[in-house]
A and B are shown apart, each in its own frame.
Chain A
C-alpha cells in the first residue's frame, strides 16, 4: 500500500520533467530550421524572379509534362536557363518565345526547337501566350533554385501542437494518479475499520459457529447429489455448447475482415482518402458491368507517369505510419514495383513491352452460385461504394468490410428504398406497386429483389 502511494507522485514528476525536456528540445529544433529557411531565401535574391511565385506557376502550367530533375513528357527543367545559355548559346528571349508559342518556332525551323521536338516523340508543347515575361522569369527562378518545401516552415507549429498534446496527456495522468491515491487510502481505511470492529466483536465474545459450518456438506457434493440440478445444468451446458458451436459453424467461410497482403502495397487511404480520387476513376467498369474490375495497369500509369515518387502528405508521415514502416521511401518503392510490372522505362519515359501482370489477391470472393452485378447497385441503385466496402478511403490495406452472406444481402434488400427518381424504367412499375402496397417508397424486396432466381442462376 505504501509503495503505491509513493510511486504515483514520483512517476508523474518523471513524466512532467520528460515533457519539459522535450518541449525545450523541440523549440530548439524549430529555431534551427527557421534559420535555414532564411539562409536559402537570401541566396535566391541573386536571380531576377520570385521562386515562390514561380513554383506556383510551375505547378499550374508545367508540372504535367516537366519535372525539375528528370525527363518526363518534356525535358528536365532544373537550371534550364543556364543550361541553354551554356550548351546551346540561347538567351532568355529564345525561352520567352519558345514558352509563349513553341509550335510556331518549330514551324519556323529553329534548329534547337526542331531537335527538341523530334527528341521528345514529336509531342508539341502547349503554347502559353498568357504567361508574361515576369511570370516566365519567376518560373525560371524556381527552376534555377527551388524554394525549400513548405513542410519545413510549418514544423514549429506542428512541434508546438505536439507539445500541447502531450501536455494535456500528462494532466490526465496526474488526475488519474490522484484518484488512484484517494481510492487506495479509502481501501486502507475500510480495512482498518473492519479490523477494529472485528477486534471489538471478539472482545465482546461474539464468535462465529465454525463447527456448524464444517458439518454442512460441501456445495459440489450437494450439487452432485441433486440429480435434477445435474440434469438441468447439463442441458444448459449442452445448449450453450450447441449455441457456440452453431455460432462457430455459421462463421465458417465468412471472411469478414480478410486483409490479405498484396503484391504491391496499394494504399486506398492515399488514393481515395488523401487525394480524393473518385472510386469510379479506377473501378470504371462498376458503372456498366457486373464486375467492379481491378483497374488495368495502364490506368495507374495515367497518373503515375508523372507521379514517380511519394512525397508524403503535408504533415509528414504520422507516427503510426512510421511504426508500420510506411515511409515515403517505402511508397516510392511500391511505385517502382508498378513500373516494373507495367514495363515502364523511367529513364526514357517509354514502355519496354516487358510486362509482369500483377497477381492481386482477391479480397471479396462471392461464390459462383451467386450473381452480383455492380452496375445494378452503383448506377441504378446509386448506392455508395462504402455501403458494402466500408470506409475504403481510410484503409491502408483493403479488408473485407461486409460479411457477404446471403442474410446480409437480404437485410439490405428489405430495408433499402429503391431510388426510382428520374428512371424511366421504374416509372410505371413504381406507380402501380406503390398503389398496391400503399406506400410511397419501395424496397428492393417489394420489387422482387428477394426471389431466388434473381441472384441464383
Chain B
C-alpha cells in the first residue's frame, strides 16, 4: 500500500509553489561552493581539455611508467683519484693524532678519517695528560661540516677576498707603527707555545700591541688565587685517584670546573678495590654531575657554601669560625674535618666558589695537609682569561685608543653581560676583525669577519699542562676559503713561511730537545721540560712549599687567611641566589649550531634542546611554578622572569630540580644565541646577560610569568619506586661485611612451588657459544659519572639521526644509548626499597606508592647507561614476523634493517625499551633540516653503517662493524684477536673505564675478569632474558645503608 506521507525538512517544502524550494531541489548544495579558491584560475581551467578522467588516466599511466622505470637501476659513476695519495686506501680508515683547543675544551684526540674526511673523534689513549673525553669533544667533528660556516672573509655583509683584508690590515699596521694607539688581540685561551711566541714576535715589531685572553666563563678567582700563591697565572692540576677523601664546595669537577677532564682520575678511586674506595662529600646549590656522584651531598646556597668552607678551614686549624650555619651542617663539617685529619695527605679540598678568598683557602688547606692529589708544580694553562684586562680594553676602545682590534675564538657581544660598552667601543676602533667559523653577534658589529678554520683544518700546539705538549694537525684541507688566526698573523708580519713551519721551528728549538718532530706529530703528544722561565717559578714554589712544611705553617696560614675567612664567614645574600653553570652538553655555547649537542639530553634533567631555570620544589610551590606531564607524554613547565639589578631575563622555562638548595636557582650558559644559527638551534635564553662582573653567582628576584613551556624531556619518571633490581646500590660497609647474596640479591621465581633463582630457569634452549667470540659488555655503575660522551660517540659512529625538539618531546628520540638517571624518593635508594617492602594493604600502597613517585628534596642520584642488552634469550627476536632481528653466535642481537617491515612488535616486547623506530625519513628531508639534509653535513656519515630509512626499527648493534673489522684484521694477519682490539664506540669514548667491552670466550680478557666480580648483575634478571650486557652494583662510601 503506497503511503502518502511526506517527510519534510522545512515548512516551506510543504508549499509546492515555493520557488526557493524548487531551486534547491535541483541544487545539491544550497550555497555555491567556492571552487575557484582551490582550483585557481577558473578561465584556464575551463579552457583546459583535461577532464577528471583524463587526469586519473595520466596519474595511472605515469605511476605505472614510474614503477617500471624504477626497475632499471640508475647508472652509478665511480670516479677514482687521478693521483692517489699513498696514505689513502679507499675503505680503510686513517687515524691522526691532534688536539682540540677551542678555548673551552682542551684534549688530546685521535681523528678517524675515511677517504680524507674526518668522521669520528677518539681519545688519544697514549697521552699522559688530556686524554679525557666529553660529549662536546666527541661532537666537535660535526661542527666542521656546519652548513652555516663562513665560507670566506667578509666586510660587513659583503664577501671580500683575503687580499683585500690583508691590504687593509697591513695599511692599518703601518699607520699604527709608532703611534699611541693600540693594536689589541682579544682571543680565547690558546695555551699554545707557538702562538705565544708568534704574538711576542708581533709585539717586538709593533710594541704598542696588547694581547688579552678572554674566557667566556671566567676562572679569574682560581687564577688570581693561584697567581697570588705560586706566581704564575695557571690552575693547579688535581689527581683525584690519589685522594681518599674528596671534599668539594661547589666545584663541579666532573663537569667543566677549571676546564674539566678529572673524571678518569676520580673514577679510579671510586671503584672499590680491596674493600676501599674514596669518600666524596659535595656541598653545592645546583644539582650537578659531581653532586650526583657524591657519597654525601649537602645542598647549600652559595653564601652558605662560603661559610661552610670558612668553618672547615677553622676546624682544621682548631680555631673557631662563627657562622650562622645550622647545626647539622656544622656537625657535618666537624666530621669532615676529622676525616680530613685522618686521611692527611690523602685528602683534597676543591672549590668552585667564584671568590679569590675561597680559592685561596682551598689552596691553603691543600697546602696544609700536603695533599697528594694536588699538583701545583706542573699547573694547567687551559684558562688564561683575565677579565680586568678586558675591562681595561673596553675602556681603551671607548677612549678611542685602539686602532686595530683582532678577535679570535671569542664572541664578546654574546658572552658579555653588558654589551653596550663593548659595542660602543668597537665602533670607535678603526679596524676591527673577528675571526670566526660562523657569523656571530660580534661579527655583526665588527668591520671585518675573517672566516676561520675549524681545529681539524688547522696547525697548532698546546701546553695544556706544564711539560705536557700536544700538537694540532689538519686532518682535512680547508673546506672553504678560510684561514686560521695564526696564519693570518704570519701573513701580516710579512713572514714567508707557513704557520706549520713556525710551529715546527718552535718545537725544534724550544720543546723537542732533540726528540723527533715526526714522532711527536705521530703521537700527538710530547712530554718534556718547559721553558727556562717557568723553571724558575717552580724553584720558587718548591721553596715556598718547604716553608709551609715548617711547624708554624698552620698558624701562618690562618693568619694569612684571616681576612678571607672573615669575609667568607660573613657572606650573606638577598633574594634568590642564582648559580650560573655550564651544561655537560652545551658548555659555553660555541657549539650551539651542532645538532648532536642540542639533542644531547642533559645528564641531570634529561631535557634536550633547552636551558631552563632549575628551582627547588619548595621554592616552586611558594612561587606557584609547576612542572606537569601532558597527555602526549611531553613535559611542560611554567615560565619565570628573573630580575637582577635592572637586568630582566624574561620567560625562562622552569624545571623543578630535586636537590636544588632552597633559596637558589640555576641557569646554564650557552643558549639563546640567534646570529649564525639555524632556526631549530635558536633555543633557550642567554644566561650571559645576567653574568654581571663575571660572577657566576647573582642575587636575583623571580616571579612567575604566564604560559607554559613545552620541554623535550626524554625521561619523565624520575624514581625507581623501590625497584631495587634495576639499579642495585649498596653501602661500602655492607659491601665489605656482608655476603654478596645480601647486597646483590638474585631475583627469585617460583618453579614447581619452590623459590629458585631466576637465572636457573630457562624457557629456551641455549645456543652453544663456547666456540669463537662471545661478546659481553661490562658497565660499572661506580665508575660511570653520567657525562654522556658515550651517547655522542654512539651517535657519530652509527649514523644515528637527529630528530629535532618536537619529535624528542613525543618520545621519539633516536639515541641508541641512553643514560637513565634515577632519584631516590627517600634519602637513599635503600630507603626506597625498605619503604616498598613495608607497604601492606591496599590503602597504604595507594598512598605510599604515590609518595614514592616524587623524588626527595635532596635525593641520591644514580646513572645507568642502557643500550640494547643483546639478550641471549631475546624477547624481540621471537615476535618479529619477518625474522628481521636474529641472534648471532657471537652474542650480538642482529637487526637487518632492509628486512624490517615496521610492525614494532619487537619494541613493544623489549623489556629495556631500547629499540628505536624511524617514524620519518630523517635524511634528505627538509622537515628535519639537520646535518643529514645537506651535502656538507653528510660528510660525517660513517660509510660502514647503513643510513636507515623510514619505517624500520634500529638499535644498538654492539658496534658490529667495529668487531667485524677487528676480526678481519686478525684474519688478514693470521693471528688471534688481541683483547683491546675489541671495542665499541661507547667503550672507546668512556674515559672512566665504566664501559668495558670484549670477548668472554677469551679468558684473559678484561671483560671476562670483570664478569667474575661479585658485583655483577643483569638488568631485570627476573625476566630471564640473559643479557650480554652486565652491570656492577653501585657501591657508595657511606656507613649507613
Contact = CB atoms under 8 A, between A and B. Distances in A.
Interface stretch (B52-60, B69-77, B388-396, B912-920): B69-77
Interface string A408-449: 000000000000001111101100110010000000000110
B961 A457 contact: yes
A424 B974 contact: yes
A451 B771 contact: no
B89 interface: yes
A376 interface: yes
DSSP class of B's interface residues: helix, strand, loop or mixed?
loop
A288 B897 CA distance: 27
Given A452-B886, A453-B886, A453-B894, A359 B968 contact: no
Given A365-B73, A379-B972, A380-B972, A453 B80 contact: no
B946 interface: yes
B960 A457 contact: yes
Nearest to B115: A291
Contacts of A343: 82
Contacts of A426: 971
Given A290-B91, A368-B947, A369-B946, A454 B964 contact: yes
A362 B974 CA distance: 32
A448 B890 contact: yes
A330 interface: no
B886 A371 contact: no
Contact of B90 (A285, A341, A433, A454): A285
B974 A425 contact: yes
B497 interface: no
B23 interface: no
A299 B84 CA distance: 9
A456 B78 contact: no
Q: Interface range on chain B: under 10, 10 to 19, 20 to 34, or 35 or more?
A: 35 or more
Contacts of A294: 78, 80
A180 B3 CA distance: 93
Contact of A298 (B84, B898, B974, B976): B84
Nearest to B772: A429
B968 A296 contact: no
Given A253-B73, A373-B968, A451-B889, A360 B80 contact: yes
B76 A362 contact: yes
Given A285-B90, A290-B91, A375 B968 contact: yes
Given A288-B972, A425-B971, A428-B976, A361 B888 contact: no
A164 interface: no
Contacts of B828: none
B24 interface: no
A401 B898 CA distance: 25
A457 B78 contact: no
A159 to B, nearest CB: 44
B75 A253 contact: no
B770 interface: yes
B90 A361 contact: no
Contacts of B944: 290, 371, 457
Given A296-B84, A362-B76, A436 B971 contact: no
Contacts of A428: 976
Interface string A268-289: 0000000000000000010011
Interface residues of A, number: 54
B886 A289 contact: no
B975 interface: yes
A380 B967 CA distance: 11
Given A296-B84, A369-B897, A376 B971 contact: yes
A452 B883 CA distance: 10
A376 B964 CA distance: 10
B26 interface: no
Nearest to B895: A453
Contacts of B80: 293-297, 357-358, 360
B147 interface: no
A451 B971 contact: no
B91 A291 contact: yes
Nearest to B883: A452
Contact of B76 (A296, A341, A365): A365
A287 B791 CA distance: 34
A298 B961 CA distance: 32
B12 interface: no
B957 interface: yes
B993 to A, nearest CB: 26
B967 to A, nearest CB: 8
Nearest to B892: A453
B33 interface: no
B75 A260 contact: yes
A342 interface: yes
B76 A361 contact: yes
Contacts of A447: 772
A452 B975 contact: no
A380 B771 CA distance: 20
Nearest to B886: A452
A24 B239 CA distance: 101
Given A298-B82, A380-B972, A424-B976, A361 B75 contact: yes
Interface string B885-921: 0101110101111110000000000000000000000
A436 B770 CA distance: 11
A448 B772 contact: yes
A77 B970 CA distance: 52
Interface string B74-109: 011111111110000111100000000000000000
B81 A296 contact: yes
B975 A425 contact: yes
B835 to A, nearest CB: 44
Contact of B71 (A253, A362, A371, A448): A253
Given A294-B78, A365-B76, A376 B968 contact: yes
Contacts of B417: none
A373 B943 CA distance: 13
Contacts of A376: 968, 971
A219 interface: no
B164 interface: no
B771 A429 contact: yes
Contacts of A367: 898
A341 to B, nearest CB: 7
A367 B947 CA distance: 12
B738 interface: no
A355 interface: yes
B771 A432 contact: yes
B768 interface: yes
Given A252-B71, A376-B968, A376-B971, A296 B83 contact: yes
B112 to A, nearest CB: 15
A255 interface: yes
B83 A456 contact: no
Interface string A327-360: 0000000000000011100000000000101111
A343 B771 CA distance: 55
Contact of A453 (B76, B888, B968, B971): B888
Interface string B732-766: 00000000000000000000000000000000000
B916 to A, nearest CB: 15
Contacts of B961: 371, 457
A456 B84 contact: no
B479 interface: no
20 contacts: A255-B73, A295-B80, A359-B77, A360-B80, A361-B78, A362-B76, A365-B73, A365-B76, A371-B944, A380-B972, A422-B974, A425-B967, A428-B976, A433-B772, A448-B772, A451-B886, A452-B899, A453-B895, A456-B946, A457-B960
Interface of B: 71, 73, 75-84, 89-92, 768, 770-772, 884, 886, 888-890, 892, 894-899, 944-947, 957, 960-961, 964, 967-968, 970-977
Given A288-B89, A367-B898, 15 more contacts: A288-B92, A293-B91, A296-B82, A297-B81, A298-B81, A360-B80, A376-B968, A376-B971, A380-B971, A432-B771, A452-B886, A452-B888, A453-B888, A457-B944, A457-B960
Q: Closest 6 interchain pairs by CB?
A: A453-B894, A289-B91, A296-B84, A296-B81, A291-B91, A290-B91
